[in-house]
Amino acid sequence: FRAPCGDFTVCARHQEAPPCIPFGLASVFSGRISRKSVSHTEDIGDTMADNKRYRNPTEVQMSQLVLPCHTNHRGELSVGQLLKWIDTTACLSAERHAGCPCVTASMDDIYFEHTISVGQVVNIKAKVNRAFNSSMEVGIQVVSEDLCSEKQWSVCKALATFVAHRELSKVKLKQVTPLTEEEKTEHGVAAERRRMRLVYADTIKDLLARCAIQDDLDSKDYSNMVPAEKTRVESVELVLPPHANHQGNTFGGQIMAWMENVATIAASRLCRAHPTLKAIEMFHFRGPSQVGDRLVFKAIVNNAFKHSMEVGVCVEAYRQEAETQRRHINSAFMTFVVLDEDDQPQKLPWICPQPGEGERRYREASARKKIRLDRKYIVSCKQAEVPLSVPWDPSNQVYLSYNNVSSLKTLVAKDNWTLSSEISQVRLYTLEEDKFLSFHLEMVVHVDAAQAFLLLSDLRRRPEWDKHYRSVELVQQVDEDDTIYHVISPSLSGNSKPQDFVILASRRKPCDNGDPYVIALRSVTLPTHCETPEYQRGETLCSGFCLWSEGDQLTKVSYYNQATPGLLNYVTTNVAGLSSEFYNTFKACEHFLLDNRNDLAPGLQTL
């Protein structure tokens, strides 16, 4: 069902930028921090103003007038105060869904697009995107509003995970039922984000170990450097009842605010100016803290780059009666810049780390900078600028796999699919959006969903039913769920060359009832499999299968494909009358599944 390769592939020469994927792992905004207003009014404001619209039952809103007591030296809302409001709003949303007290488990990376000035209003909106077992992902939107001009600005988006707690029993949360397209997208992608969050620490550790950053310490002129030691900060806080919920658990937002405070002091000691916080990396609350705890905050500048610096903060808790028994509560990394009067980032002094631990942190900060860039590039809204085939390397594999699955889930969640035709219960749906014409084919097959998943997720078996796959070589088994294949397709017409594709296949089992099995396919580039004169290199943007279990031995099989203009003619010819090619290929897939329903290859059974 397509030109070669069964996935709507596109010749590299015709490639188009892929679509924007909203709300990645981290909700990223492009553009530098600026106090200046942007000229447009966000439509978020309309949503906020219009009470008659559909409202998610878990949605909670908070509006705060920014007073001088909330601001820093620049007359801007301090990020610490904002984090407290974000955490409170999100917690109340989580508790509305859970019906019991909740604590902050983590807060994903936050990028601040705008600062908020004294006198403005900050509007915060939070809703539960998805509930898992005892945890929930809460999506938060922060918009600032100028009361005089009525202008509104998007300040940041955030994603927090809250865990529900009951004193005597383990909590099993009720599921969230998404209704709108946006809710369905967030619901689908939340499972993928959770997967990344839970391996976040290991991923970063692994990437830091592999990332060969060449440091320039030996070649630097130490006389112009600020010793890192001069930026070291230590501060203690006593947790009092106003810092905690009614069960005595310290608010996550309060801890984040204290962390931001010490980080700002450390950053100021390097630049001897008033720094602005630009980004916060994942906060993970490793263990609880209660009223009566003493919290010790330690911060230091780990590295200074040309226009930004990384400050690390570590938080430990102890009780008065056991001062030596310290519990690690949190560690986080924050990126600061120093803005001049025109809001341009200023050049920062170089930092000279302490030998040993300091040098290790200096190198790790450089590596984290690279990881952050990779992550922002692949996961964020900036994906519109990513080429169709992204080079595959160990430092971005987690994000490419995430991107692969979330792109497909985003396509699946679209609510404007239209049924174009139906032949013998094979349905063809199409979706027209901007530059893309997407389609999906759907049928119900008498086979177990888990088995169909195993059969379809091994691309080596695809030539058995799809004549557009001439041969498939397994290039790399990246991990249990991600595999790279080299696919050769027959030529489109008699006198053109055969095509080849390097495809990343990422598969996911359902997260809970109602969730589909997912097999997502996208092109990547590999240095070991460069273009050769023998083949014309093809690329696939976003395609794959979703399999819904519809009962015992009954599975709804859907194949999705997002086609770029290079292939429109081919697609529209098929779409116009559900040409026999689409239909025959999908029917061949059904026969393949039925023929192999009890007969899995040994290699597959172990997957």
Q: Which helix (H) or strand (E) holds 298?
A: strand 294-304
Q: What is the rounded distance in angstroms from the CA atom of residue 3 to the CA atom of residue 184?
A: 30
Q: Which of 312, 353, 516, 544 binds ligand ADP (CB under 6 A)?
A: 312
Q: Which of 9, 71, 93, 104 binds ligand COA (CB under 6 A)?
A: 104
Q: Looking at residues 112 to 141 of the shown chain, list those that interact with ligand COA (rule: CB under 6 A).
A: 132-135
185 binds, among ligand COA, ligand ADP, none (CB under 5 to 8 A by kind): none
Q: Is the dihedral of CA 403, 377, 341, 83 positive or negative?
A: positive
Choice between 197 and 537, CB closer to ligand COA: 197
The structure tokens listed for 367 are 């590596």
The answer to the question of residue 203 lying near ligand ADP (CB under 6 A) is: no
Output the CA–CA distances (angstroms, integers) from residue 447 to 70, 380, 408, 465, in the order listed.
60, 37, 23, 16
The answer to the question of residue 302 lying near ligand ADP (CB under 6 A) is: yes
Q: Which of 142, 299, 487, 520 binds ligand ADP (CB under 6 A)?
A: 299
Cα atoms in the 13 Å half-sphere on the side-chain side of 489: 28
232 binds, among ligand ADP, ligand COA, none (CB under 5 to 8 A by kind): ligand ADP
Shortest distance, CB of residue 198 to ligand COA, whole angstroms?
6
The answer to the question of residue 332 lying near ligand COA (CB under 6 A) is: no
Shortest distance, CB of residue 365 to ligand ADP, whole angstroms?
8
The answer to the question of residue 335 lying near ligand ADP (CB under 6 A) is: no
| 3-state helix, strand and coil shares in percent for the chain, rounded to the nearest 5 | 30, 35, 35
Q: Which of 10, 105, 159, 313 binds ligand ADP (CB under 6 A)?
A: 313
Shortest distance, CB of residue 98 to ligand COA, whole angstroms?
11
Q: Which of 14, 53, 286, 435 binds ligand COA (CB under 6 A)?
A: 286
Q: What is the rounded distance in angstroms from the CA atom of residue 353 to the CA atom of residue 305?
A: 13
284 binds, among ligand ADP, ligand COA, none (CB under 5 to 8 A by kind): ligand COA
Shortest distance, CB of residue 556 to ligand ADP, whole angstroms?
47
Tally of CB atoms within 10 A around 31: 9
Report yes or no: 604 and 458 within 8 Å, Cβ to Cβ: yes
The answer to the question of residue 289 lying near ligand COA (CB under 6 A) is: yes
The structure tokens listed for 595 are 């023929």
The answer to the question of residue 77 lying near ligand ADP (CB under 6 A) is: no
The answer to the question of residue 298 lying near ligand ADP (CB under 6 A) is: yes
Output the CA–CA distances (angstroms, integers) from residue 89 to 65, 115, 121, 426, in the order listed.
15, 19, 15, 46
Shortest distance, CB of residue 516 to ligand COA, whole angstroms?
19
409 SS3 class:
helix
Instruction: Determine the residue type at 76.
Output: E
The structure tokens listed for 450 are 């888990």
Q: Which of 102, 138, 156, 329 binds ligand COA (CB under 6 A)?
A: 329
445 binds, among ligand COA, ligand ADP, none (CB under 5 to 8 A by kind): none
Shortest distance, CB of residue 185 to ligand COA, whole angstroms?
20
CA angle 142/405/17 to nearest 5° reads 75
CA angle 102/104/108 to nearest 5° reads 140
Report yes or no: 447 and 517 within 8 Å, Cβ to Cβ: no
Q: What is the rounded distance in angstroms from the CA atom of residue 359 to the CA atom of residue 302?
A: 8
Q: Which residue sits closest to ligand ADP, CB atoms considered? A: 312
In terms of Cα–Cα distance, which of 440, 487, 493, 443 is closest to 466? 487
The site for ligand ADP (CB under 6 A) is made up of 232, 298-300, 302, 312-314, 331, 361
- What residue ranges bind ligand COA (CB under 6 A)? 103-106, 132-135, 161, 163, 197-198, 249-250, 252, 255, 284-289, 329
